[in-house]
Amino acid sequence: MTYTEIPVQGTFSEKECLWFLNRGFDDCIYRVFTDKIRRAFKFEDELTLVDIIPMPDKICLAWLTGIPSKKCETYVSDFLGGWFDLDIDLGAFYRLLNANKKLAYMTESYKGLRFIGIPDIFEALGWAIIGQQINLKFAYLLKRRLVEQYGDFIIYQGEKYFLFPSPEVIARAEVSDLRALQLSGKKAEYLLSASNFIKDGNLSREILLDQPDLASRLKYLTDLRGIGPWTANYVLMKSLKERSCVPYADAGLRNALVKHQIICYKNKPAAINEFFSSFEGWESYLAFYLWRSLAPMTDEQIVSLIAK
């Protein structure tokens, strides 16, 4: 077996990252085991399957399907840097959290949780379109159908490991094909439109990074049909690691803010904006930690922690 080690700087919790990836949603593009994640990658024409073993000070990669080319190894290592946000020091963010009585518990409860991204721009965009306005369980089911229909895969020990489909492949589908997977007509149109836009070279990481600022990147995305403020913010925070994104209108985010008694009513964008303004430069992380807070503890536990 061939191994690669990626060093990790700063506070990093392998348990928190594994927990986030294994929230019970049955994501079809990786498998989570007790201490590792198994995922397929494709670099140019090279398909490979990797066990990713996160540890407190490094991430160890075990190449299950043979020795990778140097370029493929670099690609996967870079991908993991984006997936687990390895180049970040959480100190300043934790200082902001600690200054807030209601959220200070997060610096201990979620200590070392890195922002789990979606490095591939088309995967982030496609997933955001699929997930708009439907419950997450159904969204993951739709994603699985799409991936199993159109994605490449690698077989290892009798099991298939899929990759998210390329925009070129999706662009060849018809609305009726996607409707057959139970996407709504509009989502099918939006997904095809995004696929064609990327296929034709009108959208890429580089193009977005070339925009002068966050507002310009948001506008570039929201000019696309089917991409509103929520989707644009979501894609930029997940894919480009933009630090100052607030996914307004996100139901989970609103619920988390209500749960922490930060806003009184479920739908008050101005109140959300005001609260996030005190986390300048860390808005994306704040949203991510608030999402993290939704599942693991009961309301009583949170109230109890806040009261301490």
Active site amino acids: 250
Q: Could you say whether residue 186 binds DNA (CB under 7 A)? A: yes
Q: Could you say whether residue 239 binds DNA (CB under 7 A)? A: no
Dist. CA 36–CA 23, nearest whole Å = 14
Q: Could you say whether residue 136 binds DNA (CB under 7 A)? A: yes
Q: Could you say whether residue 229 binds DNA (CB under 7 A)? A: yes
Which structure tokens are listed for 78?
């870079």
The CB-of-196 to DNA minimum distance in angstroms stands at: 15
Dist. CA 227–CA 205, nearest whole Å = 16
Among 77, 100, 109, 184, binds DNA (CB under 7 A): 184
Q: Which of residues 88-127 bind DNA (CB under 7 A)?
A: none
The CB-of-230 to DNA minimum distance in angstroms stands at: 3
Query: Which of 24, 70, 31 has the alpha carbon at shortest distance from 49?
Result: 31
Q: Could you say whether residue 225 binds DNA (CB under 7 A)? A: yes
Dist. CA 91–CA 94, nearest whole Å = 5
The CB-of-49 to DNA minimum distance in angstroms stands at: 24
Which structure tokens are listed for 97?
């959290």
Q: Could you say whether residue 292 binds DNA (CB under 7 A)? A: no
Q: Which residue has the tokens 């922002």?
A: 115
Among 249, 262, 297, 305, binds DNA (CB under 7 A): 249
Q: Could you say whether residue 196 binds DNA (CB under 7 A)? A: no
Q: Which of 99, 180 has the CB closer to DNA?
A: 180
The CB-of-192 to DNA minimum distance in angstroms stands at: 14
The CB-of-175 to DNA minimum distance in angstroms stands at: 9
Going across the sheet that includes 37-43, the strands are: 2-7, 58-63, 46-54, 37-43, 31-32
Q: Give the interface segment with DNA, choosing from 32-40, 57-65, 76-84, 183-191 (CB under 7 A).
A: 183-191
Q: Which of 20, 41 has the CB closer to DNA?
A: 20
Query: Which of 298, 301, 293 has the alpha carbon at shortest distance from 23?
Result: 293
**Residue 308 CB-half CA count within 13 A:** 10
Dist. CA 91–CA 293, nearest whole Å = 19
**CA separation, residue 27 to residues 39, 137, 286 (Å):** 11, 10, 23
Q: Which residues bind DNA (CB under 7 A)?
A: 25, 128, 131-138, 141, 182, 184-186, 222, 224-232, 234, 238, 249-252, 255, 291
